[in-house]
Structure 1
């Protein structure tokens, strides 16, 4: 809980403060809402280049094992992909390779086409929310797409133009920073 207070004090961003406040009240690895909020906070720390805080947040769920609830564990896997990216970008090769091997166990190549289609579908959701002037919904869809783009980029087997995808990730980060 102390970590959430520390982050809340460090950032003026309302969404970060909201997430920290919710997690200070309750942060259970058995709650899909809590895991979604925690993973969003990890992603926000990554967007703001606060890798140290992102990794500290990840340590909260690092040892959580799959118990049959995909809704919860998918969120944990998204967090792991963000940390894979941080380890790669900060040249922590051993940690990178270890975590990458861990998350690759959950990848299913048969679902790659669906994931590509999903990325396009998220664009439609973002556009619709923007057109409806539903800012919070738009941000939510942007964050969902963002974490999936990171997962697709960091998966060495995912068949996509990595240069173009990395460009899209950077653009999404800039958009999110401006909107948040």
Structure 2
């Protein structure tokens, strides 16, 4: 893992990417929701800056992880898999994209989706706006990145009512 992250750090000169790489290289456990969140966030940043090959390689860091019932941890992994599925779909690899989504959906609970719709459609925007009003651009950027991450995860896996 550290070789992939170090290579990205050496080749991609973007602040958000550099910051996440440093944190991951310092300490990273696949059993930590914070650490898996950093990995997923790094993949999202790479996607935003059009480093799709690198984003897929970061998503692949989760290839040996399995669901253990901890959704707090699994959501980060789920979102990374959905990002990889999106990139593959955009590149025309529909079969592998579909396989990833079938894998992801076996651990999802569509009957609970309605509980998150208001949060996704309203609360995230309120948080972004609040941060902007308080001149907290970094906070607003973080909320926007999270909204993109969730939009990708919801869109790719389907069945989400937004």
Name the TM-score, length of structure 2 as normaliser.
Answer: 0.92
The separation in 2 between residues aligned to 1:35 and 1:55, in whole angstroms, is 15
The separation in 1 between residues aligned to 2:132 and 2:85, in whole angstroms, is 31
Is structure 2 residue 111 aligned with structure 1 residue 105?
no
Once the two structures are superposed, what CA deviation does each residue of 1:128-174 show, in whole Å capped at 9, x if it has no partner?
Answer: 111111122111111111111112221332333xxxxxxxxxxxxxx
Once the two structures are superposed, what CA deviation does each residue of 1:13-54 show, in whole Å capped at 9, x if it has no partner?
Answer: 111111001111122101111111100001011111211111
Aligned equivalent of 1:76:
77
The separation in 2 between residues aligned to 1:24 and 1:109, in whole angstroms, is 35
Gaps of 5+ in 2: none
> How large is the RMSD of aligned CA atoms in angstroms?
1.4
Is structure 2 residue 147 aligned with structure 1 residue 145?
yes
Is structure 2 residue 88 aligned with structure 1 residue 87?
yes
The separation in 2 between residues aligned to 1:112 and 1:73, in whole angstroms, is 16
Aligned equivalent of 1:134:
136
The separation in 2 between residues aligned to 1:125 and 1:141, in whole angstroms, is 7
Aligned equivalent of 1:170:
none
Once the two structures are superposed, what CA deviation does each residue of 1:63-82 show, in whole Å capped at 9, x if it has no partner?
Answer: 20122322211110111111
Aligned equivalent of 1:38:
39
Q: Secondary structure at the match of 1:129?
A: helix
The structural deviation recorded for 1:108 is: 2.0
Distance 1:149 1:38, change over 3 A: same
Which shifted more, 111-120 or 29-38?
111-120
How many residues of Structure 1 are paired with residues of Structure 2 in the alignment?
Answer: 160
Which shifted more, 120-129 or 134-143?
134-143
Name the TM-score, length of structure 1 as normaliser.
Answer: 0.83
